[in-house]
Every structure is written in C-alpha cells, then in structure tokens.
Chain A
Amino acid sequence: MATLQQHLPLPAALKPPEGGGPPNNGETPPGRRGLARLRQDPQLVARGGLAAFWALLAALIVLPCACFLVLAVSPRLFGQGPQWFTLSYLRQVFTGTTAVSLVDSLWVSAAAAGIGLLVGVPIAWLSNRTLLPGRRFVAGAMWLVLLLPSWLPASGWERLVQPDGVMYRIGLNFPFVTSTIMGPFGVVLLLGLRCVPFSYLAITAALRGLGQEYEDAARTHGASRITSLRLLVPILAPAITSAIAIGFAESVSDFGVAATLAYRANFPLATYQLFADVNGFPPSFPGAAAIGWLLVGSVAVPLALQARALRGRAYRVLSGRSRAAVRRRLSRGGLIASLTVVIGYFAVALGVPGFGALSSSVLSDYGASLRPTLVNYRAVFNNSGLSGPLERSLIYGLIAATVTVALGFLCANLLSRRASASGTLLDFLLLAAVALPGVVFGAGYIFAYNLPALSHVGLDLYQTTTLLVVAYVASSMPTNARVLVGAVSQVDASLRNAARAHGASATRAWARGVLPAISRPVLMAWLLTFSGILLELPLSQLLYAPGSPPASVAIEDNLGNYHFGVGTAQAVVAVAIAFTVVGLALMLFRLVTPAGWRHVGEGVNE
C-alpha cells in the first residue's frame, strides 16, 4: 500500500493524515505512531537494520579483539595492571622464550611457504597443462588437505613416529626419524604440506585464466619453449606472490601444529606461547595481547603487501576469446617423475598421517601387541564421555554453519553493492578479521566476555556453550562472506528486476531469479564452514564450557593423556562424520533442487 500511495493520486478521503497515521482515524495513539511510521518508511527500516547489523558486528568481532589487543599498551583500562600506557609488554615479547618462539614462528612460516610453492606450482602445472593420469582427482585431494585441520595430520604423524608409536610397535625403531619429525624439520614439513593447496589453488586459477596465445605468441616470434615459459613467469607473478603471502600468513597463525607436534617436540611457536599466557595461572592478558599484536602484524603485513602487489600487477589476461591451453603429453621419464611428485605429496600429506591415525585406532594402547582390535571404536560408540564430544561438535557445526552463512550472505550483499563508506569499512573489517589468528580471536573472547561490566548487565556468557558457538560464527563469518561475495556480485539486479517486471512478488522474484544462481555457492560455503567448525581447535580449546568439550578438545586431551587408541578412533569417526555430512548435503542438493539450479556455474572451469 505504501508503494501505491507514493505513486497514485488518492482521493482526499483516502489520503493518510500528516505524520503517516492510518486514514480516517484522526489522532494516532502515541505508542503506535513510531510503528506506523516504520511501516511507511522503508528507508527508516533499512537504516535501523543496518545499525543493528553494525552493532552485531561490533559485538562479535570488533569489541572482543579491540578490548584484548589494547591491553598490550594500556593494561589499566580493563584492570589488568597499574599502567594507563606502557610499552613494557611489547618490549618483553622481544626477550626470552617469547622472542625465541616468535623468531621460530617466522622462519618456520617462511620455510613452509617456500615448500608450498616448490611443491604446489609443479602440481598445478602438471594437472592443468599436461595429460597427467588422474589429474581430475588432484583438485579434490587438495581440498581434502585444506579442509583437514592441521592438528589432525600432525597427530597422525606423531602417533606413527613417537617412541611408543605404530612404527615402534611394528619393529621399525628409527630414533633418527623420530627426532627429525618431532622437531623443527617435522614442524616445517607439516606446515609446508598445508601450504601446498594454497599455492596449487592460486596458480591453478592463474593458469586457467592464461590462454595459450601468450605462449604461442612467444614461440611464433622466435622464443624456445624454455624462453616462452620464462616469459609466462612474470604473468603468473601475482599468483605466486599470493601463494607465498597466504602460505606464510596461514603458517604464522596456525595453532594446530603448534599445539600438538611442535609443543610435544619442545619447539614452542608464537601462537602456542599466546595460548600459554592466557591459559596459565595467573593468566597474563597484557603479555598475550603483545604477542597478539606481533602475530597480527606478521599476518597482516604479507597480506597487505600481497593485496598491494595484486592491485598494481593483476594482469587481466582472461578474455572470452582466450584459446584454451593445450595439454602436453608427458614423455615416459616425465610421466614417472610427475607421478612421483604428485603421489609422493599426497602420500606424505594424507596417506602417512591417515595411516598413522587409522593404525593407531585399531591397536590397543598398552603392550606391544600388533593384533588389530575394534575395542577403541566400541569405546567411542558405547561410552557417552567419548561419543558426547563428537555429537556436540556435530550440533555446534550444524548451528554455527547455518548462522554463519546467513550472516555471511548479508555481508556479501552489502559488499557487492555500489561503493559506499559503510561498504568500504565492512570490506576492511572483514579483511582484517580474516587475517586475525584464531588464537587471538579466542583470547579476545575470553577476555571481553569475562569483563565484570557484562555481568552487571546480566550477560554471563563466559564459559558457556553459547559463547563458543558465537565465537565459531564470528571467526568463520569473514571468510564466509569473502567466499560468497563473488557469487553474490555476479547476480545481476536484472535477474530480480526481470522477475518483478513479469509479475513476481519480491519474495518470489528472489526465489526464482536469484536463489538458483547462488544456491551452489551458498551450499559450498555452508559445507566449508561446517567442516572447519567440526574439528576447530584454537577457539574450542580456549572457550569450551567446562564439562562439555567439543571433539577437537576431547581428542587432544585423550592423545595428551596417552589414550592414543580412543583419541585416534575419535578422530577417525569425526572425519567420517564430516565426510558423511558433506556427501549427504551434496546428494540432497542433487536430488532436491531442479536441474537448472545445478546447471548454473557448471562447466566454467574445465
């Protein structure tokens, strides 16, 4: 009706009175006046909604992290020390064990990013530019490496090479291997293996956009194959820079390897040092915040440099007429070498830790017996203390992923609209939040939601499951929004307008015109978020409600307390749950959605 009133001249008797009250009703009761005004002013509703959205973002992301990080220079602000302003905590970071852990984190991350590039680039090239057998499986396996939380392969490797591990039990007692893996080399190796998918994905995206014509142009103007390849490297430079920056940032902020293999190898990294400061007794929030600043800097600087590099040198090489690159047939020697690289990588990244976890889960914890047993799995399924964390994480994952995708979608919509100050601010905020290490996020939540001021207003969230789920949502939402913004941006307003112009209501127009186009990206974003939350470690470790540990915390506790069999069995079951949910969701999408929905976005990549 409001729309009609705006566009049609109404008879005087039907005209609403000044101030927006209902027609023919004289004075409106004061209490209802505001509501009626809201109904008749969509812009006011939108402004109110936007304000609520920003308040939510502030409560979820900005305030917890800001409250925590400010402690590094002003501990008195929240009663954590006598100084209003001090640099002493930041100075302390550069002394003693904290300084060592920070330096170790930096060089280990640089080395890991290097390994990621060295292995990821050839695999990307082989699977995109050659007729390598099995190349179609490479992308899927890379996503698997990416989705598995880093502590899981680390635990698998540990169980394999520990002094009482699987290798030892089957008679392969090589102390050298144990000391190598359970030390800096093992940490670099594991983090490096995790960097490979980032390099692979960045280079693959660049190679797909790189038509054959650049190479052809070089060859027809006299360049040899090697020279023409050299000519392509600068074109791929933005992707290479991205791969290094993301690999480095991911490694610096990683908590999974730091809290498992590195910790047990007595090789502390900065993220674990921060966790220890927060989790110690008494906790040192200002000290942890100082480490947090350096971690944020270590992550933000390379990411900012990468963004700057991309702005200046992102070559638009993809055009509608680009000729698809020719896949080369590998020579016999080349084929053997290539398969060795690809299979070797997946064997080390997935096979070895997978074997470590699986084999450990079917062996009893004590004695040297090699007889396989299902006793650990029976314990997991029959003992509610062991199955409870898995059920808990499943429920947390389902709820948090759904809320995250809803909020992420809202953010993506705001980001995809025309440039505005709030859009720019949101973009910056989400980028900054993506760069925030999980452990800093968790520490922020511990500190902010334990402040007495919140208790005074009746907000007692500290040490509750609600806070953990809220933290899951808040930490996943920035990445989720960035994943969705691409899909949302591609949905032209004309899709919705066309449906409206042909008689559909706003809801129907959205459902018919927009939803089909974004259904697949939304599902993929949901699955990515769910998989991430199911086995999330840093937030879970810092924020779980006493007596209600989620899966990752329970598994780590069991492994830490030498209950290797049930710990690894829990891990195997958790991974199986993740696979089942992903498989079911994909199958349901295929069965339930109309064929046209599934067609959107298909066949773009190959």
Chain B
Amino acid sequence: MSSRGQQQPSTAAHPVRVQSMTKEYPNGKIAVEEVSFELSPGTFLVLLGPSGSGKTTMLRCLAGIERMSAGRIDIGGRAVAAPGTHLPPEQRELAMVFQDYALWPHLCARDNVAFALKRRGVRREEARWRAEALLGRLGIGALCDRFPSELSGGEQQRVGLARALIGDTGLLLCDEPLSNLDAALREQMRIEISSLVREAGTTTIYITHDQAEAFALADRIGVLERGHLVQLAEPETIYAAPATPFVARFTGLAGELAVRIVGRTPTGAVEVQLSAGTSPTPLRATPGAGLEQHAGDALLLVRPAAVSLVAPDGTGCQLFARVTDVAFRGVGYEHAVVLADGTPLNGIFSPRRARWGENVGVALQPSGCLAFPAGAVASATAVGR
C-alpha cells in the first residue's frame, strides 16, 4: 500500500507489521484482542474508535510504553515486541505527538524540540539551530525562547509536532493531538500535520474518535470496537462499504430505517419497503455484509449524503417527511426531518432553506443506503479489507 500523498515515502520510513496484538490488564480487562495489520512505508493510518475501544492502548503498545500480553510487532523489519522480547520506547526508532502535548515545562520551545535530536548524536548548537528552523517553518520561530506555559494550546501542539518530526524517525505516533484544540485551530493544525507528515514521508499511526478528522487525514482507516479491529480499509471503502453497522454508525449516518427486503436487482442492489408505513416507490439499497442470502427484515442505514429534499408531489419523492430543524451552514442548510412513521433523519444538506414544520419529500441515493440483516449489531472480528 502506498501513500496517497504527493510525496514519495521517506527512505527512512518504516513498514509496520502487527500480529495478534492482545493486551489484558491485571484486573482481567482485555483492552485489545487479536489485532493484526500491516502498513507499507509512508502510510498514514488513522485508528478510529470511540472511548474505550482500545486505540490508545494499541498506540502505547506500539510505542513500547505498555507491554503487550501476546502478539508481535515489527517496526522496520525488526521485532520490537514478541514473546520474550520487549524493546523499550527509546530503541524503537519512533516519535510521538501527545494529546496533552507533554512538553517539558522547564525547557523552552527550542530545547523541547532539540531534545529529540540527542538520539542522533547531533551537537547541541546544531540541534538548537535545526529546532529553530523547524519551529520557524511551523510559524512559531519567534517563540523559540518561550516556555510551554507561555504558549497557547495551538503553539504548544506545534512544538510537540516539531519535536516528533525533527528526529526523522521511521514511525510517527499521534495520540489524539487535536482533541484539546478549538474547532478553528483544529482544522488549521490538521492541515499542517497532514502536509508536514506527507512531506517527511514518515509512516504514521494516528488515533482519533473524530470521523471527519480520520477521513481528512488517512490513507487507511482502522475502525476499532471494544478492542477489535473491525475494519481496515481506505476511507472511501469505509464510507461506501462499512463492514458492520457499528462502522457505518461511527462514520456518520442520517438515520436508520427498519425495512423489509422485497427483491433484488440484476446489478446486485436490494429493493426494500419500509416495515411501518409505505413509500411511493420501493427503495433501493447496497447490501451490506451478511445480506447476500438474507431475506425478510433488514436495517437500512442511510448516509447523510444519500438524502436529498424534494417536493412532496415531485418526481423522485420516495418518503414523506416534516422538517423539524434547519441550521445554516454557510454554503447551504442542514435539515433534520421526521418521517411519517416517526423515524428521524438528520444532517440533510440542501442549498434551499426549508421552513420549520414544512412537509417535504425525501429522495434516497441507493449507493448511500446500506442494508444489513436486522439485528446485525455484533462486532466483527479482525476484518482486513
């Protein structure tokens, strides 16, 4: 798998292979179970999951801060963790960006960054000069002498990023680096991380619970649920063909409809009818995992982008709804509606503003409607698609 960025992978970028990673705590809680994946050099992997899904534990095991209970990790073709082997973090040739920045409060911005060059045996003066140059590139060259307490959150995270990049290590780990920043700064920092990391060509593993951040950054996304890697794929695949309803839900839905399968088309789509109420025409949907031979009741998971508002008596109207909320989003309006049977659909974009309480028609794009067998909520285990 090659990087989607414009830059070629750095010659120093490491391939990463994780086999059956399992982490069980002394209290018996299993944080990560049997997770396996491989990354080619220069790949930007985002591990996406809710709180408690095991993503931070995975990252800490990769860093060597935590010791795995079982499994094997190879970084740059070298086993850094395996039964009987556990290399400490400093011997794994990696760098890390921390959620809380973890800048040493007694060192100024320059010295925090220069610290990471000690492992390279760089002379003190040169290290400081290189740190200043990198901080300058990140737009905070004038703040080199400031201590962390004298920097804003965004500036602190830029120092953290510079510290992680300056050592030119083969693997960069990012532990929710944007979660402490406000929305505007988050977007700005996301762009900076993306461009700098791709320019460096470093293999990157980045964890977040924000699906928008994941889609914007990743070459590949791994979705974690309760310690299991339930899907690992390109962002487009994750969005178009989620492996489980959990993945679909976690990566953004307008709503869920209880439906009944009434037929199949030659192109492979399924035709469904609402379980409660009727629609003017049958709905078409993309079959999800487990629906190949399934008939009867199903769950229709609808992506926001697949929903559009139409006139209730116009062509293309498939469902009737009433507008319950309208939010101005700059380039248009985001609507929430409730269908005739009471099912809500949210996040429906339209360039035209509908009125509160207005009766509208709803049209659904089959590619954004994903049908899963009814009751399919259990997590899949390690699916590497």
Chain A residues close to B by CB (< 8 Å): 211-214, 216-225, 227, 231, 234-235, 237, 313, 315-317, 319, 321-322
- Asked if residues A220 and B65 are in contact (CB atoms below 8 Å), the reply is yes
Q: Does B90 contact A (CB under 8 A)?
A: yes
Q: Does B173 contact A (CB under 8 A)?
A: yes
Q: Does B116 contact A (CB under 8 A)?
A: yes
Listed residue (A211, A212, A214, A219) with the most chain B CB atoms within 10 angstroms of its CB: A219
- Asked if residues B105 and A220 are in contact (CB atoms below 8 Å), the reply is no
- Asked if residues B118 and A213 are in contact (CB atoms below 8 Å), the reply is no
Contact of A214 among B65, B104, B116 (CB under 8 A): B104
Q: Does B119 contact A (CB under 8 A)?
A: yes
B119 (CB) vs chain A CBs: closest residue = A222
Listed residue (A218, A222, A313, A322) with the most chain B CB atoms within 10 angstroms of its CB: A222
Question: When chains A and B are docked, how far (Å) is the Cα of A219 from the Cα of B93?
Answer: 11
6 closest Cβ contacts across the A-B interface?
A222-B119, A315-B105, A217-B102, A219-B89, A213-B102, A234-B106
If A213-B100, A321-B180 touch, whether A220 touches B173 (CB-CB below 8 Å) is yes
- Asked if residues B65 and A219 are in contact (CB atoms below 8 Å), the reply is yes
- Asked if residues A222 and B116 are in contact (CB atoms below 8 Å), the reply is yes
For chain B, residues 81 to 98, give those with C-beta under 8 angstroms from any C-beta of chain A. Answer: 88-90, 92, 94-96, 98
B93 (CB) vs chain A CBs: closest residue = A222
Interface size on B, as a range, is: 20 to 34
* Chain B: minimal CB distance from A133 (Å): 16
12 contacting pairs across A/B (C-beta < 8 A)? A213-B98, A216-B65, A219-B64, A219-B89, A220-B94, A220-B96, A221-B164, A221-B167, A223-B90, A235-B105, A321-B99, A322-B100
For chain B, residues 135 to 172, give those with C-beta under 8 angstroms from any C-beta of chain A. Answer: 149, 163-164, 167
For chain B, residues 106 to 128, give those with C-beta under 8 angstroms from any C-beta of chain A. Answer: 106, 115-116, 118-119
If A220-B96, A221-B115, A221-B119 touch, whether A235 touches B104 (CB-CB below 8 Å) is yes
Question: When chains A and B are docked, how far (Å) is the Cα of A212 from the Cα of B89?
Answer: 14
- Asked if residues B100 and A319 are in contact (CB atoms below 8 Å), the reply is yes
Contact of A237 among B106, B118, B173 (CB under 8 A): B106
- Asked if residues A315 and B167 are in contact (CB atoms below 8 Å), the reply is no
Interfacial chain A residues near B63, Cβ < 8 Å: 216, 220
Question: When chains A and B are docked, how far (Å) is the Cα of A473 from the Cα of B116?
Answer: 55
Contact of B118 among A211, A217, A223, A225 (CB under 8 A): A223
B89 (CB) vs chain A CBs: closest residue = A219
Question: When chains A and B are docked, how far (Å) is the Cα of A327 from the Cα of B100?
Answer: 21
Question: When chains A and B are docked, how far (Å) is the Cα of A212 from the Cα of B60?
Answer: 12
- Asked if residues A321 and B149 are in contact (CB atoms below 8 Å), the reply is no
- Asked if residues B149 and A222 are in contact (CB atoms below 8 Å), the reply is no
Known contacts A217-B103, A220-B96, then 17 further A-B pairs from the complex at CB < 8 Å, ordered by chain A residue: A213-B100, A214-B104, A216-B63, A216-B89, A217-B96, A218-B115, A219-B89, A220-B64, A220-B65, A221-B167, A222-B118, A222-B119, A231-B115, A234-B104, A317-B105, A321-B99, A321-B100
- Asked if residues B106 and A216 are in contact (CB atoms below 8 Å), the reply is no
Question: When chains A and B are docked, how far (Å) is the Cα of A231 from the Cα of B92?
Answer: 20
* Chain A: minimal CB distance from B98 (Å): 5
- Asked if residues B106 and A221 are in contact (CB atoms below 8 Å), the reply is no
* Chain A: minimal CB distance from B335 (Å): 36
Interfacial chain A residues near B99, Cβ < 8 Å: 321
Question: When chains A and B are docked, how far (Å) is the Cα of A237 from the Cα of B64?
Answer: 28
- Asked if residues A220 and B89 are in contact (CB atoms below 8 Å), the reply is yes
Question: When chains A and B are docked, how far (Å) is the Cα of A222 from the Cα of B116?
Answer: 7
B148 (CB) vs chain A CBs: closest residue = A315
B90 (CB) vs chain A CBs: closest residue = A222
Listed residue (B94, B95, B96, B104) with the most chain A CB atoms within 10 angstroms of its CB: B104
* Chain A: minimal CB distance from B72 (Å): 20
Question: When chains A and B are docked, how far (Å) is the Cα of A234 from the Cα of B149?
Answer: 15
* Chain B: minimal CB distance from A329 (Å): 11
Interfacial chain A residues near B105, Cβ < 8 Å: 235, 315-317
Interfacial chain A residues near B92, Cβ < 8 Å: 220
Question: When chains A and B are docked, how far (Å) is the Cα of A317 from the Cα of B102?
Answer: 9
Question: When chains A and B are docked, how far (Å) is the Cα of A279 from the Cα of B59?
Answer: 70
Question: When chains A and B are docked, how far (Å) is the Cα of A227 from the Cα of B99?
Answer: 23
Question: When chains A and B are docked, how far (Å) is the Cα of A213 from the Cα of B63?
Answer: 12
Interfacial chain A residues near B119, Cβ < 8 Å: 221-223
A228 (CB) vs chain B CBs: closest residue = B90
Listed residue (B60, B65, B118) with the most chain A CB atoms within 10 angstroms of its CB: B65
Interfacial chain B residues near A313, Cβ < 8 Å: 106
* Chain B: minimal CB distance from A577 (Å): 43
Interfacial chain A residues near B95, Cβ < 8 Å: 220-221
Interfacial chain A residues near B102, Cβ < 8 Å: 211, 213-214, 216-217
A212 (CB) vs chain B CBs: closest residue = B65
Question: When chains A and B are docked, how far (Å) is the Cα of A218 from the Cα of B104?
Answer: 9
Listed residue (A212, A220, A237) with the most chain B CB atoms within 10 angstroms of its CB: A220
B96 (CB) vs chain A CBs: closest residue = A220
Contact of A220 among B90, B100, B106, B118 (CB under 8 A): B90
Question: When chains A and B are docked, how far (Å) is the Cα of A221 from the Cα of B91?
Answer: 9
Interfacial chain A residues near B163, Cβ < 8 Å: 217, 221
Interfacial chain A residues near B65, Cβ < 8 Å: 212, 216, 219-220
Question: When chains A and B are docked, how far (Å) is the Cα of A558 from the Cα of B63?
Answer: 65
Question: When chains A and B are docked, how far (Å) is the Cα of A217 from the Cα of B103?
Answer: 8
- Asked if residues A315 and B149 are in contact (CB atoms below 8 Å), the reply is yes
Question: When chains A and B are docked, how far (Å) is the Cα of A402 from the Cα of B311?
Answer: 78
Question: When chains A and B are docked, how far (Å) is the Cα of A216 from the Cα of B180?
Answer: 19
Contact of A222 among B100, B106, B167, B180 (CB under 8 A): B167
- Asked if residues A221 and B100 are in contact (CB atoms below 8 Å), the reply is no
Question: When chains A and B are docked, how far (Å) is the Cα of A223 from the Cα of B117?
Answer: 10
Interfacial chain B residues near A223, Cβ < 8 Å: 90, 115, 118-119
B120 (CB) vs chain A CBs: closest residue = A222
- Asked if residues B116 and A221 are in contact (CB atoms below 8 Å), the reply is yes
Question: When chains A and B are docked, how far (Å) is the Cα of A211 from the Cα of B175?
Answer: 15
B164 (CB) vs chain A CBs: closest residue = A221
Interfacial chain B residues near A211, Cβ < 8 Å: 100, 102
- Asked if residues B149 and A216 are in contact (CB atoms below 8 Å), the reply is no
Interfacial chain A residues near B100, Cβ < 8 Å: 211, 213, 319, 321-322
Question: When chains A and B are docked, how far (Å) is the Cα of A321 from the Cα of B88?
Answer: 24
B106 (CB) vs chain A CBs: closest residue = A234
A213 (CB) vs chain B CBs: closest residue = B102
Question: When chains A and B are docked, how far (Å) is the Cα of A224 from the Cα of B91?
Answer: 9
Question: When chains A and B are docked, how far (Å) is the Cα of A138 from the Cα of B104?
Answer: 29
A237 (CB) vs chain B CBs: closest residue = B106
* Chain B: minimal CB distance from A484 (Å): 28
* Chain B: minimal CB distance from A67 (Å): 44
A232 (CB) vs chain B CBs: closest residue = B104
Question: When chains A and B are docked, how far (Å) is the Cα of A321 from the Cα of B116?
Answer: 24
Question: When chains A and B are docked, how far (Å) is the Cα of A217 from the Cα of B65?
Answer: 10
Contact of A224 among B64, B90, B96 (CB under 8 A): B90
Question: When chains A and B are docked, how far (Å) is the Cα of A221 from the Cα of B115?
Answer: 8
Would you give the 0/1 interface string for B304-332, flagging 1 where the beta carbon is closer than 8 Å to chain A?
Answer: 00000000000000000000000000000
Question: When chains A and B are docked, how far (Å) is the Cα of A211 from the Cα of B99?
Answer: 12
Interfacial chain A residues near B89, Cβ < 8 Å: 216, 219-220
Listed residue (B88, B102, B163) with the most chain A CB atoms within 10 angstroms of its CB: B102
* Chain B: minimal CB distance from A264 (Å): 46
* Chain A: minimal CB distance from B347 (Å): 29
Interfacial chain A residues near B88, Cβ < 8 Å: 219, 224-225
Interfacial chain B residues near A213, Cβ < 8 Å: 98, 100, 102
* Chain A: minimal CB distance from B135 (Å): 16
Question: When chains A and B are docked, how far (Å) is the Cα of A214 from the Cα of B63?
Answer: 14
Question: When chains A and B are docked, how far (Å) is the Cα of A210 from the Cα of B95?
Answer: 21
If A220-B63, A319-B100 touch, whether A235 touches B106 (CB-CB below 8 Å) is yes
Contact of B104 among A222, A231, A319 (CB under 8 A): A231
Question: When chains A and B are docked, how far (Å) is the Cα of A211 from the Cα of B102?
Answer: 9
- Asked if residues A216 and B98 are in contact (CB atoms below 8 Å), the reply is yes
Interfacial chain B residues near A221, Cβ < 8 Å: 90, 95-96, 115-116, 119, 163-164, 167
If A222-B90, A224-B90 touch, whether A217 touches B106 (CB-CB below 8 Å) is no
Interfacial chain B residues near A216, Cβ < 8 Å: 60, 63, 65, 89, 96, 98, 102
Question: When chains A and B are docked, how far (Å) is the Cα of A486 from the Cα of B180?
Answer: 28
Question: When chains A and B are docked, how far (Å) is the Cα of A211 from the Cα of B98?
Answer: 12
